[in-house]
Amino acid sequence: MEFSSPSREECPKPSGRVSIMAGSLTGLLLLQAVSWASEQKQWASDGAEYGTIQANCTGTGIGYNIIRVPMASCDFSIRTYTYADTPDDFQLHDFSLPEEDTKLKVDTLIHRALQLAQRPVSLLASPWTSPTQLKTSGASCSLGLVHFLGQIIHDLSLARFLDAYAEHKLQFWAVTAENEPSAGLLSGYPFQCLGFFLPEACGQGPGSVALPLQVLTDPEAAKYVHGIAVHWYLDFLAPAKATLGETHRLFPNTMLFASEACVGSKFWEQSVRLGSWDRGMQYSHSIITNLLYHVVGWTDWNLALNPEGGPNWVRNFVDSPIIVDITKDTFYKQPMFYHLDHFSKFIPEGSQRVGLVASQKNDLVALMHPDGSAVVVVLNRSSKDVPLTIKDPAVGFLETISPGYSIHTYLWRRQCWSRYSRRHWARPGH
């Protein structure tokens, strides 16, 4: 494989709330959401919970730099709630953060992560539903949109959320309009959801759905949108070139951000598979593919879950890179965790993806760090070892082997190969 600089993409840093997405792309950002802590005991400096945050967010860990925060409850909560559950309170007089937010999300998770982190950590928020009084269905789950008059109140509730967290000295980098709005169009959808529309911006009537194409081609609506959030759950049906690639072609200055992914969510899958190397490879393959098709960040759904894949009030259990067994005060780092390490640790904010001419069929991606050093991540999903030659016109070439079922990260300063280093993980037995 050989570096090919002409296809380099400029990547601005998400360093504020104004025009943070005005450029083309940014470096890879890994972010997490957590809700399992709602059943936990007090944190101890040597306990499993503290170790989980330390493993994910610190310099000795894998260094995540964004935390995704659910706005009110989601399926990975132990109950359903919003911040304004009082009937007919259209002025939001009773809007408040419950203890799930103030004691668990804010104090137990977010501030602790910010204290331990050795580089800046940004916050991303997503709502699952509006206050139920604002929905056409009157329920947090199943089919339902924000009714026409409720849209303004719902917008106000989102702003009140940001203000409430600001009182706890927390500012948000970004907010998505809704988590999976298509779910709000499905009758019988089992957990919190909300369909939405932008009638004034898109010229649609109440109950219509604003598609990204409609929004981004409307000058008035587009000025409120800085990016498009995507989930990975239908990637096996929709090729990246036809979805991510085409979206970038149509809207090259609009950020693409992968805002949720997990394994074990399909009905035919086992929720938790401890030690699954294949699930780690699924993560790396997805991240590399997303990077190659202009996505700037990739979100793992849960920071940690229990051995069942929860807690989850609707029993929508899935797998997680870290599994915490509270009964044993123990946590397990899964292969997914170490696969994520290759990206979160070695592709810092502000990196630029560069072209790579490759003859091998391995999954691979090349990037330049802000300091000018280079990084190549190589994933071999086959059982066979693959000879590999990395050529950099600035310094020369390196011959190596990509073992079967392995992932490697190659990092070097472009002035000389002597600063070359490698991080390697392989499936046991390889």
Q: Active site includes 180?
A: yes
Residues 318 and 399 in one domain: no
DSSP per-residue string spanning 331-354: EEE-HHHHHHHHHHTTS-TT-EEE
- 285 found inside a domain: yes
The reply to whether 215 and 337 lie within a common domain is yes
The range of the structural domain enclosing residue 392 comes to 357-413
Question: According to the model, what pLDDT value does residue 395 have?
Answer: 86
Q: Which of 246-255, 358-367, 409-418, 420-429 has the highest mean pLDDT?
A: 246-255
Q: Does residue 430 lie within any of the structural domains? A: no
**Total structural domains within the chain:** 2
The answer to whether 340 touches 359, Cβ cutoff 8 Å, is no
Domain end, chosen from 349, 375, 405, is at: 349
What's the CATH code of the domain at 128? 3.20.20.80
363 and 311, same structural domain?
no
In a domain, 9, yes or no: no
In a domain, 2, yes or no: no
Q: At which of 312, 332, 349 does a domain end?
A: 349
Q: What is the pLDDT of residues 28-73, one digit of tens each?
A: 222 233 333 334 444 444 555 556 666 666 556 788 888 889 999 9
Instruction: Looking at the structure, tell me whether residues 287 and 361 fall in a common domain.
Output: no
CA atoms within 13 A on the CB side of 62: 25
Among candidate residues 10, 260, 308, 399, the one labeled active-site is 260
> In the prediction, which pLDDT does 11 show?
37
Judgement on whether residues 287 and 366 belong to the same structural domain of the protein? no
- Mean pLDDT score of the chain, rounded to an integer? 81
Report the distance separating Cα 97 and Cα 18, nearest Å.
Answer: 26
List pLDDT tens digits, range 351-367.
Answer: 888 888 776 667 999 99
Question: Does residue 149 belong to any structural domain of this protein?
Answer: yes
**Residue whose C-alpha is closest to residue 189's, from 141, 153, 151:** 141
| Same domain for 310 and 213 | yes
Looking at the chain, the whole-number percentage of residues with pLDDT higher than 90 is: 46
Question: Could you report the per-residue pLDDT of 74-100, keeping only the tens digit for each?
Answer: 999 989 999 999 998 999 999 999 998
Confidence of residue 18 (pLDDT cuts 50, 70, 90): very low
Contact at 8 Å (CB) between 29 and 353? no
- Which structure tokens are listed for 383? 């059982």
327 plus 363 within the same structural domain:
no
From 9, 49, 100, 180, the catalytic residue: 180
Lowest average pLDDT, out of 9-23, 319-333, 344-358, 382-396, goes to 9-23
Task: Categorize the per-residue pLDDT at 209 as very low, low, confident or very high, splitting at 50, 70 and 90.
Answer: very low
Q: Tell me if 339 is assigned to some domain.
A: yes
User: For residue 53, what are the CA distances in angstroms to 111, 123, 181, 395?
Assistant: 11, 15, 30, 38
Does 246 participate in catalysis according to the annotation? no
Do residues 398 and 312 both lie within one domain?
no
Question: Does a structural domain hold residue 150?
Answer: yes
CATH of the domain at 403: 2.60.40.1180
260 with 318, same domain: the answer is yes
**For the segment 163-193, what is each residue's pLDDT rounded down to a tens digit?**
999 999 999 999 999 999 889 888 889 999 9
Provide the pLDDT for residue 58: 55
Q: Please give the Cα distance from 91 to 2 (Å, whole number).
A: 60
Are residues 323 and 374 both part of a single domain? no
Do 345 and 393 lie in a common domain?
A: no
User: Which of 307, 326, 349 is at the close of a domain?
Assistant: 349
Does residue 227 belong to any structural domain of this protein? yes
Q: Do 371 and 231 share a domain, yes or no?
A: no
